[in-house]
Chains A and B, each alone.
Chain A
Amino acid sequence: MEISANTQAIAYLISAVLFILALKGLTHPASARRGNYLGMIGMGIAIVATLLGNEVRSYGFIIAGVAAGAVIGSVLAARVQMTAMPQLVAALHSFVGMAAVLVAIGTYLNHDAAGTLNPVMMGELSAGIIIGAITFSGSVVAFAKLQGLVSGAPVKFKGQHLLNAAMAVATVLLGIHFGMTESMASLVLMTLLAFVLGFTLIIPIGGADMPVIISMLNSYSGWAAAATGFTLGNLLLIIVGALVGFSGAILSFIMCRAMNRSIINVVFGGFGSESGGEMSAAGQAAQKGVKSASVDDAIYWMEDANKVIIVPGYGMAVAQAQHALKEMMELLEARGVEVKFAIHPVAGRMPGHMNVLLAEADIPYDHVLEMDEVNPEFPTADVTLVVGANDVVNPAAKSDSSSPIYGMPILDAAKSRQVYFLKRSMSPGYSGVDNLLFYQDNTSLIFGDAKDTIEGMVSALKGGGH
């Protein structure tokens, strides 16, 4: 069976609409799964319509590629740990980037052989290769940092930005030269330089800025698909590329806003590198010392509380403490305590990371509140339990204009009656800023591994409490 170009175009249109509805489904957890299924159907329609079109004639390589990809993809999806989701996503972004590069080169080879190259197409090809290559190597660096293969610390050297800018300009110039002269050498050089650029752009960015980087690379992978769409004159690729590109761009914006930093600052500025000359408010407060507490102290306050708010952060993910938290939540609820979870937009290593981990532990999503919803509730909370979060509850963001995190929206944990921090050590958060909340009169720190501490709380509650 073979379908006409018009039938194929209609099929692509249907598939584009299904993709839009798929994204629309994510408006609410209740409609999200249906949305995902619509996305799968859209993808199925697009692939079948392409295979049935008159351009695809040989199927050997295609069947082999799809079969192998299906097996690898399914195994990855089934096996990945929820805490490793940022790594998986980074890896998948790199695949889209590499696929875009390969498709562009393959298209060049096919058109070169047929003698149908033209300058517009070569310009579009170059765009696809450049964006794809940057997406690929940038995602590889992000993956390596998330997986701990390389240090998450920012790698910086003098003249770095100048070097990157020079390489970017050179890459574009090579693309233009290729478009005008069909020079193979320029094409190869441009491709290699774009790969290098991806590395050097992401390597200076610290591990804790990963939510922004993941979103940015998500966006790039969309633009890479759109550029491929322009090259091939395929409107479906263009539509999907624009949707994905904007999705990533909006997420980057939301993440930056939640840190009160500009995207320029995240991409080019190191964080926590400057040190204030004078002693800051945090430094003065440090002289007051901090109070430490035991598990029993915290239980004493929590078991009779009306409301307990839990603030999870990346430390919860590292300690895998979400399941213990769920058990504690149930024990507290059985005693009539209202338990809520407060999520800061940049908690974790990717957007929405905490929500997925809490969902994994079977914590109902109506217990999990976003920053704007939960902030009015802190003044009426008897206890706030901070599990592996730090900067996102630091009142210095509001009160200390000399602090690097000044102006960042925070969770108002400081306003609750009692605050308990679960911490492994006194080290500051990723911003390198001391947390003023540690020194507040109603704050105590419980030192130790988050999971062990919470399990301790669970057994204390099971044993009848204090």
Chain B
Amino acid sequence: MPDTLVALYVFVLACFIGYWVIWGVTPSLHTPLVALTNAISGIIIIGALLVTGLESAGAAAELFGFVAVLLASINVFGGFLVTNRMLAMFKKKDK
């Protein structure tokens, strides 16, 4: 099976996982959900690392890659930390 087809298999199956997992998320946590998905979509940093870190990458590719690494890591750090900050506020009645 060619690689692109394997990728398509994985993609379609992952869509089903996404569908079921997300429907289980409680509505009260929808804002943290958006922030968390934001953080994990920062996974695009991997693409940015691969572009930037290539030994033969030209100056232009390196520059594009650098900006992509920067933006994606803002997402990763900002997204996870702000999610954590929000989730820390959700408390049950204490005492």
Contacts and interface: CB of A to CB of B under 8 A. Distances in A.
Do these two chains interact? yes
Interface of A: 19-20, 22-24, 26-30, 32-33, 35-37, 39-40, 42-43, 46-47, 50-51, 55-59, 61-62, 64-66, 68-70, 72-74, 76-78, 80, 82, 85, 88-89, 92-93, 95-96, 98-100, 102-103, 105-107, 109-110, 113-114, 120, 214-215, 218, 221-222, 224-226, 228-248, 250-251, 254, 343, 345, 350-353, 355-356, 359-360, 362, 364-368, 370
B32 A244 contact: no
A24 B41 CA distance: 16
Contact of A352 (B29, B76, B79, B80): B29
A102 B22 contact: no
B74 to A, nearest CB: 4
B35 A85 contact: yes
18 contacts: A23-B25, A27-B24, A36-B36, A43-B42, A56-B53, A57-B54, A66-B45, A73-B75, A100-B47, A103-B65, A103-B68, A107-B47, A228-B47, A233-B3, A237-B43, A242-B17, A248-B37, A351-B34
A43 B46 CA distance: 10
A46 to B, nearest CB: 6
A22 B35 CA distance: 12
Contacts of A95: 71-72, 74-75
B31 A352 contact: yes
Closest 7 CB pairs of A and B: A69-B73, A352-B30, A73-B77, A56-B53, A65-B69, A246-B18, A73-B78
A242 B11 contact: yes
A327 to B, nearest CB: 16
B60 to A, nearest CB: 6
Interface SS majority for chain B: helix
A229 B14 CA distance: 13
Interface size range on B against A: 35 or more
B29 A240 contact: no
Interface SS majority for chain A: helix
B14 A110 contact: no
Contacts of A235: 6-7, 10
B4 to A, nearest CB: 6
Nearest to B47: A103
A252 B18 CA distance: 14
A55 B54 contact: yes
A232 B72 CA distance: 16
B74 A92 contact: yes
Contact of B22 (A82, A85, A103, A250): A250
Nearest to B19: A246
Contacts of A353: 31
